[in-house]
Amino acid sequence: MNSKMRVAVLGAGSWGTTVASLTAANAPTLLWSRDPQTTDQINCEHRNDKYLAGMSLHPELRATTSLEEALRHCDVLVMGVPSHSFRETLRAAAAILRPWVPVISLAKGLEQGSNRRMTEVISEELPGHPAGLLAGPNIAKEVLQGLAAAAVIAMTDEQIARSLQPIFSRSVFRIYTNTDVVGCELGGPLKNVIAISAGMADGLGVGQNTRSLVITRGLAEITRLGVALGGRPETFSGLTGLGDLLTTCMSPLSRNRQVGERLAQGETTAEIVASMKMVAEGIKTSSVVMELAHRHALSLPIAAEVSAVVKGEHSAAQAFRGLRRMAAGSEGEAA
């Protein structure tokens, strides 16, 4: 059945291209890119050197610059565009996409202004289409290299999620299902903020003990906010919570960790954004997280310091001095 299902992936960044290469092994896949040079290179050389230099893609993967071509016959739509262009892209797709096609988000961000999760944006712009996400501790280059990894398809309808499992699965890329869409979807955006803090810790040279402190207390903040927004507590101990947090905080390939390191070296957010080819979602998400924290009267001291540094209100060194001044109570308490 899956060999007959046609997949469209919108967005030819590092992770969108990687997922498209995975699905191309299991189903006909068409990757949409705005860049004609990227499209030509994928079709002719099976590479995307703009985002994945030196990596080979599946030879059956095809690319196009035409949204119409990508969408008109697809049975599964995978959204690999960043959160800031997510709604706009869905609106463009709405007039082309056939009814009831499942839509899977890869974006690990929250929409600025509305504070919506991406599956909520899908439901608003494409009502009637089953919405879900694919998330987990996944570094694109490692997945393309064939190193063992795992991810989660989260959908409220577990039967649809199970039917999509084989499309994304490979022998060393294991796919799990989860019906806690809220919890799975919040883990990614929230951990990006904590990863910036871990990067700042490394950039300042404050030591491994401090980084461990940031990661563990960061997980407490992620869980606190995630549960307040409707996620299940146990989800944040799984692949889309703790697993994704560890990878993003520790990997030198993590964009959000790199942002933190550069902030610690004195660069401004504007300078960092201007120099990056790909989006570091934690930069935009940090302000959204604080809006949600204030709305729910939650204490998120690490996220608050990251937000202040991103806005230029504090330096990274000032942020860590602020964290040192916090009083420590019971480990189960908020601070």
Q: Which amino acids are annotated catalytic?
A: 191
Q: Helix 181-204 crosses helix 281-295 at what angle (to 10 degrees)?
A: 120
- From the CB of residue 95, how many other CB atoms can be counted at a distance below 10 Å? 9
Q: What is the DSSP string of 128-152?
A: TS-EEEEESS--HHHHHTT--EEEE
> CA separation (Å) from 13 to 20, 80, 205, 297?
10, 7, 31, 36
- From the CB of residue 84, how many other CB atoms can be counted at a distance below 10 Å? 14
User: Can you read off the two tokens belonging to residue 174?
Assistant: 């294991």
205-213: which pairs have CB atoms within 8 A and are 24 or more residues apart? 206/320, 210/320, 211/249
Which residues, in sequence order, are bridge partners of residue 64?
Answer: 32
321: Cβ–Cβ under 8 A, 6 or more apart, which residues?
Answer: none
User: Can you read off the two tokens belonging to residue 173?
Assistant: 């890329």
Please answer whether residues 286 and 300 qualify as being in contact, where contact means their C-beta atoms are separated by less than 8 angstroms.
no
User: Can you read off the two tokens belonging to residue 51?
Assistant: 């985002």
Backbone angles phi, psi at 280, to 5 degrees: -100, 100
Grouping H, G, I as helix, E, B as strand and the rest as coil, residue 103 is strand
Please answer whether residues 91 and 67 qualify as being in contact, where contact means their C-beta atoms are separated by less than 8 angstroms.
no
